[in-house]
Amino acid sequence: MKNSNIAWVHNTWNPWVGCSAEHCEVAHQCYAKALVTRTGGTFSSLRQTSSSIWSAPYRWNAEAKAQGKCVRVFSLSMGDFFDRQADALRVPAWQVIRECQNLVFMILTKVPARIQGHLPDDWGNGYKNVWLGTSITSNKPRILERLDKLRDVPAELRFVSAEPLWGPLTGIDLRRFKLLIVGGESGPNWEKHKMDLAWAKEAYDIAHAQDTKFFFKQISARRDEQGTDALGKLIPPGTPRLIRDIPDGPLPWLDMDKEGDRIAA
């Protein structure tokens, strides 16, 4: 199906579903947990997905390679790549990643302390096609510790996802991070932690001062992808525009506007 909800990637890959919710401050209103529970599943127990999902990156890679392009892949949206329950499944997942060099896998985790001990033996200074990221919701010290943990991990590129943003990021240190993603909460509880657009503007200024790319996903709203140009209205010259910068990949990025470019698996 089309993956229209995650604007900063082309495709989403979920080789497993489920999460232990370790150190997760948003677990009580996690969209993935709600989806699995609604369909009768148990989100706290991780399960491997189908062979068709595991093989999807090879198809995406072949298509991108034929065009001399590369594709950003979010890994994963229905769990956490470094979850304890995924330790065995992560080994074959790394093999898929190694074999798909025209895909840039954006791996996002809330437990960056587990990364260092769970990288493949040939990781070295990082795979060229893997970006490592961590999630934060505010500048609370216990949350910002995640940045320090990830900062010490060798990686081709590190990124931060501040979505949902529940408070200001005043004083955040983005050294060694090349991308900051900011967005407000969506879904039925969006008004409980409504993002102040001034927080996003401050985060933009901080990122700009530290030479970090900035991607504004959305305002707080019931539906995804609302108010995508809201931050552009606050930043001179003041004309509404999308603030959606992405670092360069190893090859030119595949055009996000083409039909079928953003497929979820």
The stretch 235-239 carries a mean pLDDT of 79
Q: Is the pLDDT of residue 31 over 60?
A: no
Q: What is the pLDDT of residue 162?
A: 97
28: CB partners within 8 A, 6+ apart: none
* Rounded CA separation 53/194 (Å): 35
> Which pLDDT band holds residue 46 (cuts at 50, 70, 90)?
confident
| Residue 30 pLDDT | 59
Secondary element (H or E) of residue 199: helix 197-209
With beta carbons less than 8 A apart as the criterion, state whether 171 and 202 touch. Answer: no
Banded model confidence at residue 49, pLDDT cuts 50, 70, 90: very high
Residue count of the chain, please give it: 265
Of the pLDDT bands very low, low, confident and very high (cuts 50, 70, 90), residue 261 is: very low
Residue 256 pLDDT exceeds 50: yes
Q: Which of 207, 229, 226 is nearest to 161 (CA)?
A: 207
User: What is the pLDDT at residue 3?
Assistant: 53
CA distance linking residue 159 with residue 125, whole number of Å: 16
CA dist 19 and 14 (Å) reads 12
Distance CA 198, CA 168 (A): 8
Residue with tokens 């489920």: 18
pLDDT tens string 186-224: 888 888 889 999 999 999 999 999 999 999 999 999 998
| Fold exhibited by the domain 11-234 | TIM Barrel (3.20.20)
What's the pLDDT band for 74 if we cut at 50, 70, 90? very high
Question: How many helices (H) and strands (E) are present in the chain, helices listed first?
Answer: 6, 9
